[in-house]
Each structure stands twice: as C-alpha cells, then as structure tokens.
Structure 1
Amino acid sequence: MNTEVSTNHTQTEVIQLLLQLGLSSGGSFAIWRKPKSNTVEMVLDDSTVPTKVPITIEELDPGFIIHPFADQEDKKAYFIKANNYLKIQIDGPFERDELPEWAKIRLENESLLTPKELKSLLSKLPQDPYNTGIDESQDKAHFMHLVEMGVQSVLGGKMEKVVPARTKKIAIPEDFNLSLTLLSLMKSYPFAFINFFHIPQVGTWMGASPEVLIETKGDIFYTMSLAGTQPAVGDNPLKTVAWTQKEIEEQALVSRYIVSCLKKIRLREYEEHGPKTVVAGNLLHLRSDFKIDMQATGFPQLGSIMLDLLHPTSAVCGMPRKESHEFLQAYEGFDRSFYAGFLGPVNIQDQTSIYVNLRTASLSENQAILYAGAGVTEDSDPEKEWEETELKCQIIGKFIQNPTT
C-alpha cells in the first residue's frame, strides 16, 4: 500500500476513494451518477446483513433500492439505507476536505489503494450466488432457437411480443482498474444512469442504464417507453437514422402498455411526447416521455402504484405480460437475477429516480457476466437479434476488458 496520504485527487482517484470506502466497510453500498450530471452520489450501510423492504417508495427512508427481474415470494426489494450519504462533483480537481465528515474520518489515515489492491479487495467479496449454474444461456444456438420459438408464439397469437435474454461471460483482466472503468462509463455515456452496487452475500453489479422506469420530483411523476434498437453509425447518427416497421411497432407496444396501466387506475390527464430517436452509447433507440402532475390528478402515491403496474415492462418481458413472462420462465434457461429488474435512489433530497437495470454486468473474482435481451415480434430474424444482444453486451464489456476505450 502507498505510504503517503494525498489530499488532492484526480477524477479516477475520487471514484477509487468511494469504492475503497464501500469495499472496506463490509456492508452494502451503491455509487451512481444520474444522466446529464457531473455529480456522483453514494450511500453506505455498514450492516453485513442485507435489508429487504416493501415496494412502497413513498414510505421508505432515503436509500437505494434494487429489485430482481422476477417477483420475490416476500414481495420485497433489497434496500441500501442511506445511513451514510455523500454527493460530490467530479468535473474538476478534488480535495479530501470536500468529503463529508463520516467519509473523512474513515479515510483519515488511509492512503489510496492501487488498482491492483482494489481488485484484490473486490475479489475477496463473497461469490454472487447468481453467478453459478448459468450454461446454455451463453449459447448462440440456444438463443436463436429461443427467438424462433418466440416468433412462432407471436404468429400463433399467444403473444404480441416477447423479450428473450442471454448472458455472456468474459474474463476480468489482471490489470483491471475498477475506478477507471466506472469513470470511463460516466464520460462515454453521459445520458445513462451509471451505477455500481454491492450487497453482502447477494452480489456485486455495475451498469449504464438508458431507461427510466419511474421518477418523482415534488409533485411531478415521469416515465418513458424505450424500445427499438440499431447501431449508431456515422458522425451524426440522429440525422441519418431510419427505422423499420418492426422497430416502430415494438416501441409503440411499450407506449401502449404504459397508457393501458394509466387506464387501469383511471388516470387520463397526462402529457405524452415522442417518439423520438435517442442515443444510448453505441446504440440508437426510440423513446416517448410521459409526465403527470400527481397533486392535480389526486395520485400522491403514483410512484409506487406505477412501479407495481409497470414492472416488468414490455420492453424487457413482452406483451401480454403474463403470457410472455410464462414463456421466458419456461424456455429462457437461466435466472436473470437483477438484470431487467429495477434500481435507483429513493427519497434522496426529495427525489426518487428508479431505472430498469439494463446494460449491466455482475462481477465475481475473475469474471464478469454480461446480460442482454432483444424484442421479438413476428418480423424478427434470429441472427439479427443475436447481433443486437452482442452490441448491447459490448456497452459494458468493452470497458471491463479495456477501460480506456
């Protein structure tokens, strides 16, 4: 370990300090940066026993929520309570004195770990139980057969759309630099929710999600429909993009699903804008935005209500939800764990921002598992859907294997 304690740090070293705080605590912690922001936030709970809470977000203490793709028997989500919280800007030089008192005390006599020492600390964490038993979900032939079965089910009228997923295992390099990887994600994907979390005995994950599930700030509720995928090509991909009927219809299905949820609770006063093309890393998507005044419509708990109605969305599961979910449970062949679940800060500074857990990877001692899915309709081609998942896996994978990319 280094012998001198420096007080002035580069951006990479700031992220490393936060990771050092979390990984050495023995507890649960999350680090994130919201879209279009230069602010990094962190919550830390020293308890070594994971906490689970009901999904009634308006009643929760400030913290960070993580829910798997599949519903839990106890109908609860994992929760990292903000017993310790910090918020720092990383767009310039940083002094340790800018840290809150609790963080300064913990780091008072500690020098900055080297990337190798930090990786060693990461490798000593308990094995993620979801990292075991995954086999055929990596296999191309299995995934393409899954897509073909999905197409046949849609053509047979059983579903309008289904979203099969797959995994991809990659080795974590010897010279892996976790802090540089996270900082590179933040710089490369300014419009994504960059996140890293660890829960003892549960898992260690990081991601760059492009999709808001629900957001509340004051009296305003917000959600989006995001679907349709193609590579971002050229210097100005937004000007040259062209969407196929399959992609347009896929995105429209997600929007219609949101509207159907609003109709279920008889809420008719909402703003809808879009669809428009948006950039998410090396991909383009179609997105529509929905905004609702919770006070004017008389729905103060709209966040919890819509969270329950929307998850899992048709963008990660399919439509109808029951039939597509049953199809995935029967044929997908692996446990998605937190992939396509939801996560994000809750009731921090009077704001809740929960995202679909996409473009994500689970980390263990020597390997990372990448997760990706593709929307399947009657017009889907198995080879193209496989290529789409490969592109999605690259969003995180290339930074793990070469963080300076």
Structure 2
Amino acid sequence: METINVARDTSQKLFLESFIARAFRKNHSFAIWKKPKRGVVEMISDNDSQNTVSPNLDLDELPEGFMVHPFQPSEANPPVYIKASQYERFTLGENAPLEAREWEAEGKTLQAPATFIRDKIASLPARDHSPSSKKSQFIATVKKAVACIERGEFYKVVPARLKKKRLPEDFDLAGVFLELCEAYPNAFVNCYFSEDSGCWVGASPETLIRTKGDSFYTMALAGTQKARGDNPLKNAAWTQKEIEEQALVSRYIVNCFKKIRLREYQELGPKTSVAGSLLHLKSEFLVDMRATNFPQLGSVMLKLLHPTSAVCGMPKEKALDFLLTEERFDRAYFSGFIGPVNLDGETDLFVNLRCARLENNEALLFAGAGITEDSVARQEWDETELKCSILGKFIQTKTSR
C-alpha cells in the first residue's frame, strides 16, 4: 500500500478527538469540515436533539448550521440540519486551543477520547444489511443501462455500488480526518454525526452551490481518470465518452438556468481538475445575483439541481426510476448534499461523494459511475474501485498514534 506521509500536529488531533468524544458522550449532533483550498478546520455541535428538518430548502430561512440531505428523502433517511449551538475553528499547522477541551466529566477522568470514539462507532447499529455489491451484478446493471440508452429511454444514468470494509482495531477518526485534509487540499473534507444520519466521513470534489454576498457559483464535474506522472494535468487525455459525459452535466445546469429564464451567467471551462489521485473534467458557472435581480438564486437552483445528472442521469425522472429499480442497497446520504449554511455570510453545499458511513465496526464505501452509450462495463467497475480507494486506503491504514 502507498505510504501516506502526513505532518501531524498533536494538539490539533487531541482537540478534534476531544470535540468528537464530548459530542458523542452528550449525544449531540456535530459536523467538522475543511473547505477546498482553505487551511481552516471548522466544527459545530448542536445542543438540540430535535435537528431533523422538513424538505423545505429555503436557505435564507435557516439559522447558522450544517445541512445533511439524502439522495432521496424518506422516513429512514430524512433531511437533517445541525444547528451551530457551538462553533470552533483552528488553522492547520497552528496549535489548537487545547485548554478549551479537557476530556473530563464530573471530576472523573474518562478513557482516552480516541478509544471512546472507536467504542461509540462500534456500537452504532447497522442501518443497511445489504452485502457489498458484486462485480457481476454491477456489470450487468451497466450493460442494461447501455441497452436502455441505445433504445432512447435516457441519455445518461449513474448507477452506484456499495463496498464494505472492516474497520481496523486502531481506527482513528480524528487522524483520518486530518490525513484527508492534507492529502486532498482541493476537496471538501468532512465528518458529521446525527442520530438520524449516522456517522459519515468524506472528501468530496464537487460543489453543488455556493453563495456569498451577491455571488452564486456551481460546477459541472464528470469524467474520471487516475492522475499520472509528475505533471498529471499535462498528461491528461480524455476520451470522447468522458468529454460527452461532462458536457451532459454542463447542459443540465444550463437547462436549469433556462427554466428560470436566467441568461446572464459566466461559464468557465471545461478544464482538467485535480482531486487527489484522480482527475476530472470541470466547468464552472458564476452569476451576479444583484445584477440579475435574483437574490434567492441559491435556494431556487438547489431545488432544481438536485439530484444532478452527475449522480443520477438525464432525463432525471427516467434515470431515477432506473436506479431505484436496479440498485440493491440504500444510498442514504451518499450523492445527497452536505455543507455549512449561513456561516460568516456564506453557504457552501457539496455533493456527498467519496464518502463512507461508519457503523458497527465497518466502513460502508459508496461510488458511482456515469454511464453513456459508449460505456464499457468492466471499465466502469474499475472507475468505482478507484473512487472507493480515495477513502479506503486511509481507513485500512493503521492510523492510531
């Protein structure tokens, strides 16, 4: 296995461990994250146990907090909103305020926080008893999807798979989070927990929407290949299938703009984007909400975009029907969206990709592949293996310090 060289700051790790352990002990929901290209780790905990919200996605009406939205809302997977009752932050590479997080209760010293966290994760009940997806089943699904595309039923569909991994005995959640921050500086590194959603960790490369002041931003991300050589951007070569797949995602965003008669937007790309050891094709879209007189654009586009063609397909309704019929496991919050809302005047929501749910001493890894008429089933399986390895290699590594 590839060696992961990480410069670890003991105070930051202990700070994170104590924050997570305290929230777990008090049964408080929490969220921890680092935004792309930023060196600040932010974290909130919610002192209110009633944090499940309705599917209403009017962002302006929400208090400061963290949104956790499933792929498809259901009684088993409701939208969750973690309010920012407590907010902490620290800059990577600097000492964390350790004195603010003493791991004590009622004058009695408890077990080490890392051990307490491992025991808590081990005690979380399994929510989906489906086995790991079989290669033969996934390949059969891809072939069926290609046949449907050839018959004109839809243009693209994104089937997903589930891969379960046993957590090592010394699994260290805080250590994994900090390793992901260093390994994937351009990703949204996150960890969150609530009674409704369970405990998740991830490093998503894809922004769903961002609003700050009068600015609105979204992206079209698709196509996947392994980064190669010392200059992976220069070495990237995209096939017609990958170019068309990314173009479909961009077209989906433009069609959403057309639905609301928004014509004034800036489109940048497509260009190759680095996400750790993987490369993707990315186009970016920017809108001045003041110039277009559209202050609610974030909420409106959120409802139109999800689920995007990058995680579902086109047309959305027919692709979704195919997925709900063919997939043999519950996506839950995978390919939904997550992120901080109305913190420091900014909302950043990301598609929940490259993620794992932690429960019952297991990591449930999720990955999908965009299928078009040019897809080759075995190559699509290999792509999902690459995506699962993003988190899998960290989870399987002995991380306890």
Common fold by TM > 0.5: yes
Equivalent residue in structure 2 for 1:211, among 201, 206, 209 = 206
SS in 1 for 2:238: coil
Counterpart amino acid of 1:225? A
- Whole-angstrom CA distance in 2 between matches of 1:44 and 1:343: 15
Please tell me whether the aligned partners of residues 9 and 95 of structure 1 are also in contact (alpha carbons under 8 angstroms): no
Match of 2:31 in 1: 30
Please tell me whether the aligned partners of residues 128 and 202 of structure 1 are also in contact (alpha carbons under 8 angstroms): no
1:62 paired with 2:60, answer no
- Whole-angstrom CA distance in 2 between matches of 1:76 and 1:307: 17
Please tell me whether the aligned partners of residues 258 and 310 of structure 1 are also in contact (alpha carbons under 8 angstroms): yes
Counterpart amino acid of 1:212? T
Match of 1:377 in 2: 372
Equivalent residue in structure 2 for 1:82, among 68, 81, 84 = 84
SS in 1 for 2:248: helix
User: 5 Å matches for 1:246-285?
Assistant: 246-285=241-280
Counterpart amino acid of 1:78? V
Match of 1:349 in 2: 344
Match of 1:359 in 2: 354
Match of 2:4 in 1: none
SS in 1 for 2:262: coil
User: 5 Å matches for 1:224-373?
Assistant: 224-373=219-368
Please tell me whether the aligned partners of residues 23 and 122 of structure 1 are also in contact (alpha carbons under 8 angstroms): no
1:121 paired with 2:120, answer yes
Go from structure 1 to structure 2 and tell me whether the alpha carbon gap of 1:74 and 1:52 turns closer, same or farther (over 3 Å shift): farther
Match of 1:181 in 2: 176
User: 5 Å matches for 1:78-157?
Assistant: 78-97=80-99, 99=100, 113=112, 115-124=114-123, 126-129=124-127, 131-132=128-129, 134-135=130-131, 138-157=133-152
Match of 1:21 in 2: 22
* CA distances 1:27-67 after superposition (whole Å, capped 9, x unpaired): 21111111111111111112334421421111100000011
Match of 1:39 in 2: 40
SS in 2 for 1:94: coil
Counterpart amino acid of 2:89? K
CA offset at residue 95 of structure 1? 3.2
* CA distances 1:259-279 after superposition (whole Å, capped 9, x unpaired): 000000000000110001011
* CA distances 1:346-365 after superposition (whole Å, capped 9, x unpaired): 00111000000000000012
Match of 2:218 in 1: 223
Please tell me whether the aligned partners of residues 277 and 284 of structure 1 are also in contact (alpha carbons under 8 angstroms): yes
CA offset at residue 113 of structure 1? 2.2
Counterpart amino acid of 1:362? R
Q: TM-score scaled by structure 1?
A: 0.91
- Whole-angstrom CA distance in 1 between matches of 2:156 and 2:331: 19
Go from structure 1 to structure 2 and tell me whether the alpha carbon gap of 1:112 and 1:222 turns closer, same or farther (over 3 Å shift): farther
Aligned-residue CA RMSD (Å) = 2.2
Q: TM-score scaled by structure 2?
A: 0.92
* CA distances 1:100-124 after superposition (whole Å, capped 9, x unpaired): xxx6798896678253333113323
Go from structure 1 to structure 2 and tell me whether the alpha carbon gap of 1:84 and 1:107 turns closer, same or farther (over 3 Å shift): farther
SS in 2 for 1:138: coil
Deviates more, 1:20-29 or 1:160-169: 20-29
Equivalent residue in structure 2 for 1:163, among 158, 164, 171 = 158
SS in 1 for 2:79: strand
Please tell me whether the aligned partners of residues 14 and 98 of structure 2 are also in contact (alpha carbons under 8 angstroms): no
- Whole-angstrom CA distance in 1 between matches of 2:240 and 2:83: 45
Counterpart amino acid of 1:159? F
Match of 2:3 in 1: none
* CA distances 1:172-220 after superposition (whole Å, capped 9, x unpaired): 0111111111111111000000111111143111110000000000110
- Whole-angstrom CA distance in 1 between matches of 2:398 and 2:210: 30
Match of 1:4 in 2: none
Q: What are structure 2's unaligned runs of at least 5 residues?
A: 1-8
SS in 2 for 1:179: helix
Match of 2:6 in 1: none
- Whole-angstrom CA distance in 2 between matches of 1:118 and 1:328: 35
Please tell me whether the aligned partners of residues 127 and 203 of structure 1 are also in contact (alpha carbons under 8 angstroms): no
- Whole-angstrom CA distance in 1 between matches of 2:279 and 2:209: 21
* CA distances 1:286-316 after superposition (whole Å, capped 9, x unpaired): 0000000111111111111000000000000
Please tell me whether the aligned partners of residues 126 and 360 of structure 2 are also in contact (alpha carbons under 8 angstroms): no
Please tell me whether the aligned partners of residues 33 and 195 of structure 1 are also in contact (alpha carbons under 8 angstroms): yes
- Whole-angstrom CA distance in 2 between matches of 1:106 and 1:64: 27
Go from structure 1 to structure 2 and tell me whether the alpha carbon gap of 1:58 and 1:96 turns closer, same or farther (over 3 Å shift): same
Please tell me whether the aligned partners of residues 65 and 340 of structure 2 are also in contact (alpha carbons under 8 angstroms): yes
Please tell me whether the aligned partners of residues 128 and 201 of structure 1 are also in contact (alpha carbons under 8 angstroms): no
SS in 2 for 1:207: strand
- Whole-angstrom CA distance in 1 between matches of 2:96 and 2:316: 47
Q: What are structure 1's unaligned runs of at least 5 residues?
A: 1-7
- Whole-angstrom CA distance in 1 between matches of 2:75 and 2:366: 23
